C-alpha cells in the first residue's frame, strides 16, 4: 500500500507536488548523492563575504543555484534506479547522474512507499521510473526541502522529522510513522 493512503504526513508533504515532473537531476556533493527538483524553478544566490588578511581580499565569491520549489536529495543511503524492470543505476554507478537524469527527467512522482520497519523507501514515477532506497548507515537517508523552508527527513531507523532546515534537528523531533 502506498503511503499517500497509509501515512497522513506523507500525503500532506508529497501531495503538494505529486504529478509534477521532476527536472535538473544531478549528482550531489558526494558521489553517491543524487537530487531531483520539482515545481517552479528558482535562482538562489549565495554571497560570500570577503575574507581580508591585511588589505587584500582572499576570496570573494557568489554562488548561483537553480532549484525547484521542492528539492529531493538522496544522500546517506544505498539506492537503485529502474526504468521499467531494467536497473539503470545505483549509488556506485559511474554513469550517475547522466543515465538516471536522462531516464527520470520529466517523469512525475506518482507514489511514495515507506517501509519504516526496514528503513526502505520506494518512489514510483508515472512513466515507469522507480527509485528505491535502503539504509547503509544509521543516519538520515534523504530529505525533501519544501517551499515553507521546512525539511521532511527520513532516517535509516524508519523515523522522520519535519522541521525548519536552518537549525540542527534535535533527537526528540524524530517521530515514528503512525497510521
* 3-class DSSP state of 107: coil
Q: Does the residue 58 lie in any domain?
A: no
Q: Is the dihedral of CA 175, 73, 157, 30 positive or negative?
A: negative
CA distance 103 to 36: 12
Write out pLDDT tens, residues 52-70: 666 666 667 788 989 999 9
Q: Does the residue 93 lie in any domain?
A: yes
Number of domains in the chain: 1
Question: In 3D, which of 54, 23, 47, 45 has the Cα closest to residue 36?
Answer: 23
Q: Does the residue 49 lie in any domain?
A: no
Domain, as residue range, for 109:
3-38+69-173
Q: At a CB cut-off of 8 Å and minimum separation 6, what does 3 contact?
A: 10, 11, 14, 111, 112, 113, 114
**Do residues 129 and 103 make contact, with C-beta atoms less than 8 angstroms apart?**
yes
CA distance 129 to 109: 9
Q: What is the pLDDT of residue 129?
A: 97
Write out pLDDT tens, residues 121-135: 999 999 999 999 999
CA distance 163 to 127: 32
Q: Does the residue 106 lie in any domain?
A: yes
Q: Does the residue 53 lie in any domain?
A: no
Q: Does the residue 91 lie in any domain?
A: yes
Question: In 3D, which of 83, 44, 82 has the Cα closest to residue 65?
Answer: 44
| Beta strands per DSSP E along 61-164 | 61-67, 70-74, 78-83, 86-90, 109-115, 120-125, 129-134, 140-145, 150-155, 160-164
What pTM was computed for the model? Answer: 0.86
Q: At residue 140, what are phi and psi to the nearest 5 degrees?
A: -70, 125
In order along its 179 residues, the chain shows pLDDT tens digits of 343 447 888 888 999 898 899 999 988 766 678 999 999 999 988 877 666 666 666 667 788 989 999 999 998 899 999 999 999 988 887 665 688 889 999 999 999 999 999 999 999 999 999 999 999 888 899 999 999 999 999 999 999 999 998 888 899 999 999 87
Residue tagged 503511503 (cell numbers):
3
Q: What is the pLDDT of residue 54?
A: 62
Q: Does the residue 55 lie in any domain?
A: no
Q: Does the residue 148 lie in any domain?
A: yes
Amino acid at each position: 500500500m502506498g503511503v499517500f493512503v497509509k501515512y497522513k504526513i506523507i500525503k500532506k508533504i508529497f501531495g503538494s507536488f505529486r504529478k509534477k515532473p521532476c527536472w535538473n537531476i544531478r549528482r550531489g556533493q558526494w558521489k553517491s548523492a543524487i537530487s531531483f527538483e520539482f515545481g517552479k524553478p528558482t535562482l538562489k544566490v549565495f554571497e560570500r563575504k570577503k575574507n581580508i588578511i591585511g588589505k587584500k581580499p582572499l576570496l570573494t565569491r557568489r554562488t548561483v543555484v537553480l532549484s525547484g520549489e521542492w528539492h529531493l536529495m538522496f544522500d546517506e543511503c544505498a539506492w537503485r534506479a529502474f526504468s521499467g524492470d531494467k536497473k539503470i543505476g545505483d549509488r556506485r554507478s559511474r554513469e550517475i547522474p547522466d543515465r538516471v537524469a536522462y531516464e527520470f527527467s520529466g517523469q512525475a512522482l506518482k507514489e511514495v512507499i515507506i517501509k519504516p520497519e526496514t528503513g526502505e523507501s520506494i518512489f514510483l514515477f508515472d512513466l515507469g521510473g522507480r527509485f528505491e532506497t535502503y539504509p547503509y548507515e544509521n543516519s538520515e537517508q534523504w530529505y525533501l526541502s519544501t517551499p515553507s523552508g521546512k525539511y521532511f527527513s527520513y532516517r535509516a531507523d524508519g523515523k522522520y522529522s519535519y522541521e525548519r532546515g536552518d537549525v540542527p534537528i534535535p533527537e526528540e523531533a524524530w517521530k515514528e510513522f503512525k497510521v
